[in-house]
Structure 1
Amino acid sequence: MKNYIILVLLAFANFANAQSFQTVFEDNTYQLTGVAVSKSGRVFTNYPRWHEPYRYALVEVDKNNEVKPFPNAEWNTWDVIKGGDKNTHFLGVQAVVIDDKDVMWVVDAGYEKNAEGDNKGQKLVKINLRKNQVEKVYSLYPTLGAKSYANDIRIDTKKQVAYLTNSGEGGIVIVNLKTGNVRQVLLETEVTKADPNYIMQRNGKELLSNGKPFIVHSDGIALHPDGSFLYFKSLTDDKLYRVSTDVLNDKTLCKTQLLTQVEILGAFTTTDGMAFDKKGNLYLGDLEQRKIIRLTPELKTEIVLPNNEELAWPDSYHITKDGWLYISLSRIDEEPRFGNQRKGPYKIIRTKIK
């Protein structure tokens, strides 16, 4: 009985320590996925070109819940019928991040309906936030083709390397930011492909997309604060992996050799994005239970935001130096393809973390 009481008290303490959250921005019309916050507090989000209605790819959010296309209207104007220059327009922005040097990086997954062969315009775009101008465009083609989907990204400013996930096929893309060289590793391996035996659920039912199992490969990605390890996982299973960045950047290793260096840390949760704080805690969502958790450096699970139906598909994460965790809520599982109706607006929220 005594042990039971102790367990109950510990569970209550864990729940009581969970934080509340504030709504930073909401949009009841256009579906957003990303969130990024500059050192000065500027807030940005992006809208993927998945379905109508669609207006802008990348925007800056003001304090009046209004948005303006960023870095300008021209980059956000691309004709889906006629096409155009894929290198000077956003086609289908999937993610936006701001690195520790206050530089913005935009992942454009392209637009396959207007692809020329395998080239659907997938690229990485670097934006100077002081000048609000595009500085450089890194084409991800031909390393990534029509079956690929560039998803999330982390930047190592010391090594001058960008790491992206390919959730279409399962793989890790490495971009040398000095030379522009793009290569892909761990392509279609068991660590970057979703476990087919895992059945993702919502409200006790299998999550089916147009009647078929919902499967998304390598998606969430996070770089340890000291840059030593890259953490990654598929969206539609609960396994978390990591690999040394020194190993990742060793071009002499073949796929088999690299695969032996990947560590499986355990089965934790289904999450979309994830992010580290400066203490080495890793923040993840729980898409099935609608909550936010964190893993301590000792891999202990702690609740940050408890189960709440308002936490509708936590998508992307950004942690500021003053201890705010920003999260985008994209309500993906409420799309019509899942046989559901959207129950609320798309949001960006934030919660204070210790």
Structure 2
Amino acid sequence: MAGMASCELWNGNPPSEPEPQHELELVFKDSIYQLTGVGVAANGRVFTNYPLWSDIYRYALVETKPGNQVIPYPNAEMNSWQPGQNGEDKWVCVQAVYFDDADNMWVVDPAAPRMAAVYQQSYKLVKINARNGEVARTYPFDSAAGTHAYVNDVRVDTATQYAYLTNSNEGGIFVLNLATGHVRQVLQDHYSVKSDPAYTFTVDGHELRKNGKPVKINSDGLALSPEGTWLYYKPLTDDKLYRIRTEYLRDEGMNNAGLGEKVEDLGHFTTTDGMIFDHDGNLYLGDIEHYRIVRIDPDLKMHTLVQDSLLIWPDSYQVSKDGYLYISCSQIHKQPEYNNGVNKRTSPYTIYRYKLD
């Protein structure tokens, strides 16, 4: 059921059910291959990516076309990596695709097939000119992260020419100077990038577990406020939300202890994978446990935007130029490794959009 709920401050209990108003609109579906990200260009072109997590795999990054068709992007050659080949100039395991305010495409390749070790230090952030499909620049991460990192998501400040990314496996924030290519990892030991071990992450009435142990995913989603002043971020498998001023992150003279003192704990909200701001300063998060999308206004009051059984692990987000919130659904909790080897998926992987007021 879709719609807006009355305004209420989050207090640890789910807000009231939304009243019917808008509908989720299906943009793309894939019945075979598992997608995670969604990126929308200024002219409305829609892109998605497929991480190399299993043998059921074909392309890493694609442009979607009518009729649920796809074209490997930017070309077939870049999507042709095989184990044993050089991974620096090809996609190895793409996790996210994102468009900044200047309509540049950014692609996150953690280069960790099956979420194992990084392949030959080929993790990277790639900038692409989507108007002509040319790779503008590749930023490697081998100077800032070890082989057990999983570079997960990205937001770019076009004014300061800095990018911010998360390390969801180990916990940490990458700060990348786009002009120089220098990348640092910060806050690795801070509680804000670590999933709360006391939180029970429950989907479909069961705690998510792998190999008999509770699944704990660290700093994952992040969002840059419209003016670029604040970076919001959180671990995936608990409901806490944090923020820090980006001026502190860009200050290379501040050590991790000093940065940790600048982190603001905003309280309890939802368990979300990704998150994104609109231009009015509203923050959109998923709620994996309750199949919904929420909106947090600038006063930190949370509203249910849309709640629907179709939102099967809402994953990544993009706000388009014409005022739609695009949502990818990756169904991660239905993967065999989280269900004693049984594939629980019964419907396609999907991308929806929702008209924002």
TM-score by length of 1: 0.93
C-alpha separation in 1, matches of 2:66 and 2:97: 19
1:137–1:9 CA distance, 2 compared to 1 (3 A): closer
Q: Deviations over 1:71-102 (max 9, x none)?
A: 0001000112xx22222100000000011111
Q: Deviations over 1:208-236 (max 9, x none)?
A: 12321111000000000010000000000
Q: Name the structure, 1 or 2, with higher relative contact order (CA <8 Å, separation 6+).
A: 2
CA contact (8 A) 1:334 1:343 kept: no
Report the Cα offset of residue 111 of structure 1: 3.0
Given the alignment of the two structures, is residue 136 of structure 1 paired with residue 137 of structure 2, yes or no? yes
1:272–1:18 CA distance, 2 compared to 1 (3 A): farther
Aligned residue for 1:29? 32
Given the alignment of the two structures, is residue 321 of structure 1 paired with residue 290 of structure 2, yes or no? no
C-alpha separation in 1, matches of 2:39 and 2:107: 10
Structure 1's unaligned 5+ residue stretches are 1-7
Q: Deviations over 1:174-219 (max 9, x none)?
A: 1111000011110132111111111100133211123211110000
Query: How many residues align structurally?
Result: 344
Letter in 1 for 2:219: S
Report the Cα offset of residue 14 of structure 1: 7.0
C-alpha separation in 2, matches of 1:9 and 1:166: 35
Task: Report which of the two structures shows the higher radius of gyration computed on alpha carbons.
Answer: 1
1:114–1:281 CA distance, 2 compared to 1 (3 A): closer
Percent of matched pairs sharing the same residue: 49
1:236–1:147 CA distance, 2 compared to 1 (3 A): same
Letter in 2 for 1:219: D
Letter in 2 for 1:260: E
Report the Cα offset of residue 305 of structure 1: 0.7
1:207–1:278 CA distance, 2 compared to 1 (3 A): same
1:274–1:245 CA distance, 2 compared to 1 (3 A): same
Aligned residue for 2:147? 146
Report the Cα offset of residue 43 of structure 1: 0.4
TM-score by length of 2: 0.92
Report the Cα offset of residue 142 of structure 1: 2.8
Counterpart selection for 2:347 from 319, 344, 349: 344
CA contact (8 A) 1:230 1:244 kept: yes
C-alpha separation in 1, matches of 2:233 and 2:115: 30
C-alpha separation in 1, matches of 2:6 and 2:202: 29
C-alpha separation in 1, matches of 2:344 and 2:113: 27
C-alpha separation in 1, matches of 2:188 and 2:68: 40
CA contact (8 A) 1:47 1:56 kept: yes
SS in 2 for 1:343: coil
C-alpha separation in 2, matches of 1:208 and 1:92: 23
Letter in 1 for 2:191: E
Letter in 1 for 2:85: G
C-alpha separation in 1, matches of 2:52 and 2:115: 13
Q: How does 1:100-139 map to 2 (within 5 A)?
A: 100-111=101-112, 119-139=120-140
Aligned residue for 2:164? 163
Q: How does 1:286-305 map to 2 (within 5 A)?
A: 286-305=287-306
Letter in 2 for 1:15: P
Aligned residue for 2:266? 265
Q: Give the RMSD, CA atoms, in angstroms.
A: 2.1
C-alpha separation in 2, matches of 1:215 and 1:280: 29
C-alpha separation in 1, matches of 2:116 and 2:69: 33
Aligned residue for 1:58? 61
Report the Cα offset of residue 144 of structure 1: 1.5
C-alpha separation in 2, matches of 1:271 and 1:203: 15
1:51–1:115 CA distance, 2 compared to 1 (3 A): closer
CA contact (8 A) 2:118 2:148 kept: no
